[in-house]
Amino acid sequence: MPDLAALFPPDQASLLALLVASFLAATLLPLASEVWLLALLAARPELWELALLVATLGNTAGGLTTYALGRLGRVAADPALLASPRAGWLRRRGAPALLLAWLPVVGDALCLLAGWLRLPVVPVALWLTLGKLARYAALIWLFFQV
């Protein structure tokens, strides 16, 4: 069995862990990617730009996975959900509402419902990415201010 430490230098292993954690945190799993990001920044503050990119990409990919699950799950879903107040709110606001997808609990539900409502994927991906990027950028900024 190969030595994983030899395969992945510390920076790469840390960034890979951040990618996986940020991906999983944006799915329906209860995981906090911010902990991984701050731990990486505490150890290697000079990697902040790369960490911002990796966390944003992983979290966006996780959100889009949840969106895809909502889209696929629509076949077996209860049609009454389309008439629910949450669905109406998201339908009225459209993809820009995905700026809020970074919020705990609510964000996962927004991604799932956006897929279920079949909101267009390109605007969803754009707004989702912007929201995730802004959240991580604010967190990194606050980290360096303390």
Measured distance CA(143)–CA(138) in Å, rounded: 9
pLDDT of amino acid 84:
72
The alpha-helical segments, DSSP class H, found in the chain are 4-7, 10-25, 33-43, 48-73, 85-93, 106-116, 121-145
pLDDT higher than 60, residue 109? yes
If phi > 0 it is left, if psi is from -120 to 50 it is alpha, else beta; for residue 100 that is alpha
**Residue carrying the six token digits 């799993």:** 29
Query: What is the Cα gyration radius of the chain?
Result: 17
Q: Is the pTM here over 0.75, yes or no?
A: yes
Q: Is 2's pLDDT higher than 80?
A: no
Average pLDDT across the chain, whole number: 86
Whole-angstrom Cα distance, residue 76 to residue 131? 29
| In the chain, where the domains are located | 9-145
Among 89, 140, 139, 98, which Cα is nearest to 121's?
A: 98
pLDDT digits (tens, 9 = 90+) for 43-90: 899 999 999 999 999 999 999 999 999 999 865 556 666 667 777 788
Q: How far apart are CA 41 and CA 143, in angstroms?
A: 8
Mean pLDDT, range 113-141, rounded to an integer: 96
